[in-house]
Amino acid sequence: MSAEIRIREAAVEDVPLVLGMIRGLAEYEKLSHQVTATEEKLRDTLFGPRPGADVLLAYQNHDCVGFALFFPNYSTFLAMPGIFLEDLYVKPEWRRKGIGGALLGRVARIALERGCGRLEWEVLDWNEPSIGFYKSLGAVPMDEWTKYRVTGDALEKLADYLKTR
C-alpha cells in the first residue's frame, strides 16, 4: 500500500458519498432492490436534529474507498452501552489492503472511548470472505440467536397492537 489509510467522520456534504457506498454494499450483497435511501433521507436521518447513526469514511490517497455506519445499543446483561455496526463496506478494488480492519479498529476505539461493553454486527451467511476476516479478528458468531424484523405493514400492525386487543 503506497499511501496511508485516512479515516474521518462523515459530514453533511458527504451524503452523496455515503449513498454511493450504501449502493455499492447493496450491490455486493445482492440486495440493491431493497435500497430506498435517498440523499434527502440520509441528510435528515444522519445529520438532522436527531442523528440516527455515525458514519466513518476511509480514504486512500484522495479516493473514498470504504465506510462504516454504526449506532448505539444497550446491553441489559452488562448494564453497559454498546455499538452495533450496521454497515462496513470497502470498494472491491481496495479490498485486502487493511481498509476494512482500519475501519473496524476505529469503530472499536470509539466503542472503548464511549465506555461500551461490546461491538456487534451481522454478516450474510454466504459471505465467506467476510466471515473469515471477522473470525481472524477474534469475532465469534452468535449462532444461537435468530434475528427477527418487522417492516412496512407488519410494523404498522404491531404499532397498533393494543388497539386490536
Give me the active site residues, please: 134
Is the Cβ–Cβ distance between 102 and 5 less than 8 Å? yes
Torsion of CA 154, 49, 64, 104, to 10 degrees: -70
Total count of residues recorded for the chain: 165
Is the Cβ–Cβ distance between 139 and 118 less than 8 Å? no
- 140: its cell numbers: 465469534
- Measured CA to CA, the distance from residue 156 to residue 128 in angstroms comes to 35
Q: State the CB neighbour count (10 A cutoff) for residue 46.
A: 19
